[in-house]
Amino acid sequence: MNAVDDITYSIVIPVFNAEGTLTELVSGLTDHLTPTSKGYEILLVDDCSKDSSWDIIRELAAKYSVVRGFQLMRNSGQGAATMAGLAQSRGQLVVTMDDDLQNPPYEVPRLCKFMEQHEEFDVLIGRPREKRHALWRRAGSEMVNRMSNVMFEQASSFKLTSFRVIRREVLTPLLKLNVPEPAIGALLTTLTKRLINVDVDHAPRIAGGSGYSIRQLLKLTMSKFLGFSTFPLRFLAILGVVGISVSFLLGIYILFRYFFGDIAVPGWTTLSLLLIGLSGFLFLAFGIVGEYLQQILNIARLNPTYVIRSTEEEIINDEGDSEIVYGCNTDSNKIQQ
């Protein structure tokens, strides 16, 4: 086993019913990572699989000193299983990837090397050159990505995937968040804006089927949008302001027609103004209440108000001489309650 201090790369893989790919996946990772001469570990987190995945993980851990296996008590979902692996990781660069070999093992050293050469980035997201999913899955992913880019203020070409490289400086505050259904990509966008897409190959699935049904994908999408973005709330508030503005302008128009005798139905003027105005106020009220609820959620899940990426300061050493000290500081200031 690699010494803890010598571990540079941690590869975290959530596993669910992957008995057909695990052996080849681990073999491929060791074949491509060993020549780098970097210390590494492979963390396999079994999300309560129904097949023999856990037995295979135990065999792999016995065969490879770099493999560490973890089994969850119950099926918790890909995000939670990934967070469990991240919490156990020890490397300075932490890779997350799928268990189905669609994220090719040979891409891992290249992505890690990219991060080592580009210290200005905190998170790397692998962007498939061509996705090898079913048509409905590709169409759904494209729609979700476009909505995500608007909500999380990313470039239109930016894509969030589960193939990532995360620096330890970002991972530490990420693990402090208290989120029941973590959408890791969305959480990362709230912690740092130093994200980059790097194009990667996306291999066809060689065994098994997708671990997600349409229902599960919809649930995950709703969790991402409603749990990690204030965009829907602010959109309601904007609708409220627009509604109030429209009701004011229509009110002037309707009153003008009323006084000139163009409205023959009694009470229509009052009813129209009330409906339009109250609708606008309701939307605005929903948006304001939603903002308060979002602040409560931020406090409950310990969202940091800031994260210090690195430090550089002058200190006085024991001999009385001054020296410049620089390094990383991942302590984050939590929201004041």
Span 223-247, pLDDT tens digits:
666 656 666 777 777 777 787 787 7
Nearest to 181 by CA among 79, 98, 82: 79
Summarised one tens digit per residue, pLDDT across range 167-220 is 999 999 999 887 777 889 888 988 898 999 999 999 887 765 555 556 655 666
Categorize the per-residue pLDDT at 307 as very low, low, confident or very high, splitting at 50, 70 and 90. low
pLDDT given for residue 73 in this prediction = 92
Q: Is the pLDDT of residue 6 over 90?
A: no
Average pLDDT, rounded, for the chain? 79
pLDDT given for residue 245 in this prediction = 81
pLDDT given for residue 183 in this prediction = 83
Which tops the pLDDT comparison, 102 or 3? Answer: 102
Burial (CB count within 10 angstroms: exposed 0-12, middle 13-18, buried 19+), residue 101: buried
Nearest to 69 by CA among 35, 44, 92: 44
- Give the predicted TM-score (pTM) of the model: 0.69
pLDDT given for residue 46 in this prediction = 96
Collapse the DSSP code of 40 into the 3-class scheme (helix H, G, I; strand E, B; otherwise coil) and give the result.
Answer: strand
Strands, E assignment, 132-268: 164-167, 195-200
pLDDT given for residue 71 in this prediction = 95
pLDDT given for residue 229 in this prediction = 63
Q: Can you read off the two tokens belonging to residue 208?
A: 């098994």
pLDDT given for residue 305 in this prediction = 53
Q: Is the pLDDT of residue 118 over 90?
A: yes
Length in residues, the chain: 337
pLDDT given for residue 190 in this prediction = 84
pLDDT given for residue 329 in this prediction = 43
CB atoms within 10 A of CB 234: 15
Choose the weakest-confidence range: 41-55, 60-74, 176-190, 235-249: 235-249
pLDDT given for residue 142 in this prediction = 62
Categorize the per-residue pLDDT at 54 as very low, low, confident or very high, splitting at 50, 70 and 90. very high
**Measured CA distances, 287 to 98, 220, 225, 282, 303 (Å):** 37, 23, 15, 9, 21
Categorize the per-residue pLDDT at 143 as very low, low, confident or very high, splitting at 50, 70 and 90. low
Summarised one tens digit per residue, pLDDT across range 78-110 is 899 999 999 999 999 999 999 999 999 999 999
Choose the weakest-confidence range: 14-18, 43-47, 161-165, 333-337: 333-337
